[in-house]
Amino acid sequence: MPAVIPSSLAFQIGCSPIPQKSAGTTGAPGGIYSAILSRNFPIIDKRYKNFLELRDKYLKKNVLFEDPVFKADDTSLFYSQKLPIKFEWKRPPDFSALKEECLRKKTVFEDDYFQATVESLGYKELGPKSTKVKNIVWKRPKEICENPQFIIGGANRTDICQGDLGDCWFLAAIACLTLNEKLLYRVIPPDQSFTENYAGIFHFQSLVPVRFETRTGTGLVKGHAYSVTGVEDIQHKETRVRLVRLRNPWGQVEWNGPWSDNSKEWATIEKHEKERLQQQSAEDGEFWMAFEDFKKNFTKIEICNLTPDSLEEDKLHKWTVSVNEGRWVRGCSAGGCRNYPDFFLFNSSKARCKSYINLREVTQRFRLCPGEYVIIPSTYEPHQEGEFLLRVFSEKRSTSEEIENKIEADHPVPIVFVSDRAKANKELNTDDYMQEEETKTMGKKKPAPASAGEESEEDKQFRTIFQQIAGDDMQITAHELKNVLNRVVSKHKDLKTDGFRLESCRSMIALMDTDGTGRLNLQEFRHLWNKIKQWQGTFKHYDADQSGTISSYEMRNAVNDAGFRLNNQLYDIITMRYADEKMNIDFDSFICCLVRLEGMFRAFQAFDKDGDGMIKLSVLEWLQLTMYA
């Protein structure tokens, strides 16, 4: 459910109570890769912008398209439930190919799945042994009449009449389609005939819901679907009355209350007004009723929110639409509704959905002053995962984008790779750059040596300590790094940590190793040491209860304080990668996350020579970057 708040107030991310139990796997549908390759950025080849280009691509390759988001396997059917039966995946028969084959063989189409036998009619009263189906004869349209036609002179809403099957929900939607010829032909392709190129095969697009119906004393049918075909205001005596025109898809059985076909209210309405409203007394299933009666008798109205390209007939008033897709990830962006006040207590909403209903689509209309707003889609309960599609329709053209969508770091130090290409492109002195960053990190100027080549007293002390740890080779291995770091953090009882794992220390070396030796030299160790001290302070700040962990919801602000700006997709990945089953992140995981961010930003800057935010990697560089990290 979306809520709207002024953008000036959207300065923090809403936090929710930390769950006490695990709610299953942390990955939403699609897992980590649906976060990396979000549907905001189509997985298909971006060189092909539309359907036609994509189709031509696959025709050229002589292969069939396979959707990477909706794969032909069991993962596309159910989220958490066990499959009740075994499914067999098949492509639907191609209409054009089937029709061409029938025309070539000079035969008429016979459906293998719906054969012209009594078994296709149904069960019980229409079952194969029922007396009602014994004398049924199957005929083609030309065997029924000499000149069969589907639609004559254009479709009209009164053409749709319900038969014996009881599919009123389907027929009510078809009746609405007849009001717009363009939309009707989207559902029923017009280039189909019983004479020209007739092959006994047609194609449509349909949806048939099932409901139970009961007729009431007012002429309405409970549980029945009606089409809303018109809305008007008229002058009745001294008041304005709002009327709604509806149609029963049966083609009969109408409302018999006020403003029905033969009601006394029409006696006071002038003739030209009746003609304008197309009011007539006929048992055609269509009738008028007051809007107040409409609200009393109907519990639900379904509105198909079309995209603006479907409403091209109205040139004066056009709607614009912006579309955004996202996902709720437990521990990161699934914070729940405004009942969880950590965010909404400090950021009041200007408009919001008033109810949460288990529907596939929820629509809400708002009247807002021009300005910038933040729209927050949410589930009712926190920690519920899923994907969502947010469409915003507006009378005036508007733009939308995901907040906090910038990805950047504060002055990352470029990595100098060991490959020949990277060495050849080295354009700066990394050691000097590191020293400059350390000075910024410490918040004060580094004491200058007394003369050129002479170390300061602080440098001498650090070098002495480093030599004691590293030995004569002045290089620290992963084991040595683990020992020294754990010796230091063990003195900080408030961190409540068991220390760094060996694998974590290996990652630190790989990500801070600028000369490709697999070890850390003095300058690299100094850079890592200063970063860890800085990040330790950040961790303590957000570990307010001194539990030795921080909430995954607080990770967003902690990462920002550490000098990194990320978008929601990356925060989703961090939560899935580093949070435990209670959505908490301990000190070891926190440092490993920031070390990896630091290393990846440095690696990217090393390859981004022109600073345009795009890089191109060879296979060697890609494997070097991913395997040694």
Catalytic residues, by residue number, are: 168, 224, 248
- At residue 15, the 3 state secondary structure works out as coil
DSSP symbol at 409: E
Q: Round to whole Å and give the CA distance between 131 and 137.
A: 14
- The DSSP 8-state label assigned to residue 390 in this structure reads E
Residue 536: closest CA among 474, 609, 602, 485: 485
Q: Helix (H, G, I), strand (E, B), or coil: what is residue 489?
A: helix
Residue matched to tokens 């995962």: 385
Look up residue 216 and give its amino acid.
T
User: Taking the CA of residue 10 as centre, how many other CA atoms within 13 Å lie in the half-sphere pointing to its CB?
Assistant: 15
**Strand, coil or helix: what is 234?**
strand
Q: How far apart are CA 623 and CA 621, in angstroms?
A: 6
Tokens of 397: 């053209």
Query: Amino acid identity, residue 194?
Result: F
Residue 239's SS3 state is strand
| Three-class secondary structure assignment of 317-369 | CCCEEEEEEEEECCCCCCCCCCCCHHHHCCCCCCEECCCCCCCCCCCCCCCCC
Question: How far, rounded to the nearest angstrom, does the alpha carbon of residue 130 sit from its chain's CA centroid?
Answer: 49
Tokens 């209670």 — which residue?
A: 582
Helix H or strand E encompassing 286:
strand 286-290
Write the CB contacts of 562 (distance below 8 Å, at least 6 apart in sequence). 534, 535, 538, 594, 597
E strand or H helix that includes residue 245: strand 239-247
Please tell me the distance from the alpha carbon of residue 276 to that of residue 423, in angstroms, as a whole number: 81
φ/ψ (deg, to 5) at 481:
-65, -40
Residue-wise DSSP of 582-604: TSEEEHHHHHHHHHHHHHHHHHH
- Going by DSSP bridges, is the β-strand pair 214-215/373-377 parallel, antiparallel, or unpaired? unpaired
Nearest to 594 by CA among 620, 567, 621, 560: 560
Written as six digits, the tokens of 84 are 């009740």
CB-based contact 594:508 (threshold 8 Å): no
Task: Please tell me the distance from the alpha carbon of residue 286 to that of residue 176, in angstroms, as a whole number.
Answer: 12
Residue pair 251/269 in contact (Cβ under 8 Å)? The answer is no
* Closest by CA position to 133, among listed 120, 145, 114: 120
Q: Across 103-223, where does the E strand assignment appear?
A: 214-215, 221-222
Q: Taking the CB of residue 565, how many other CB atoms lie within 10 A of it? A: 14
Helix (H), strand (E) at residue 373: strand 373-377
Sheet holding 351-352, edge to edge: 351-352, 2-6, 373-377
